[in-house]
Amino acid sequence: MIVVFLGAPGAGKGTQAKKLAQDMNLKHISTGDILREEIKKETHLGKKAKEYMDRGELVPDELIIAMIEQALPEDLGVILDGFPRTVAQAQALDEMLRKHHKSVSCALLFEVEDEVIVERLSGRRVCPNCGAIYHVKYSPPKVDNVCDVCSTSLIQRDDDKEEVIRRRLKVYKEQTAPVIEFYAQKNKLKTIKAVGPIEDIYKTLRNAISNGC
């Protein structure tokens, strides 16, 4: 099974992908996680990617496509979280999979209103040492701005600042909306309302997969 997760930044794709990957023995490939690891290591790709991400822009197709092709396993089901984000990436994915006699099983679109996303992301705080994630409103640390796990001061990522979030949403709508249509035309698109308790969203996700993915 090869599942594509679509949706704006902050729609909850990563949270649901991790649960689904564990339950169904799938590999979770997150472009965001891979890019952040490259940035942390200060590789050439990471430095170039950071320039785009800090501006709220998408990383160029050729960098992302090469990275995903390297990460795709040969014999295991996959959840692609954050890829493809452009039609060119979707076409490149089809070509990659065709070489291995595979194809995308379905694309799941996580729908969330813009203002909900802005609140979710702008309130997020991250531990730069251990990677723990908090939210100033929904899951604050025990001590204000201090990590519960390792007592390191928390930070707000540059791409979680409100002006960058709104720019990311604008870019998403302009460049990723055609990808939604790409999968809709192939009759592979399913839509999930990604607002409410995490467990309720997950039940909806599992039902969507059971009914034709």
Active site residues: 13, 85, 124, 157, 168
Nearest alpha-carbon partner for 95 in 104, 108, 85, 82: 104
- Measured CA to CA, the distance from residue 50 to residue 54 in angstroms comes to 6
Nearest alpha-carbon partner for 164 in 78, 52, 82, 86: 52
Helix (H) or strand (E) holding 134: strand 133-135
To which residue do tokens 């839509």 refer? 191
* List of residues 6+ apart from 100 with CB closer than 8 A: 74
- Measured CA to CA, the distance from residue 91 to residue 93 in angstroms comes to 5
To which residue do tokens 């999930």 refer? 192
Question: How many helices and strands (H and E) does the chain possess?
Answer: 8, 7
Tokens of 43: 């590789």
> What letter represents residue 49's amino acid?
A
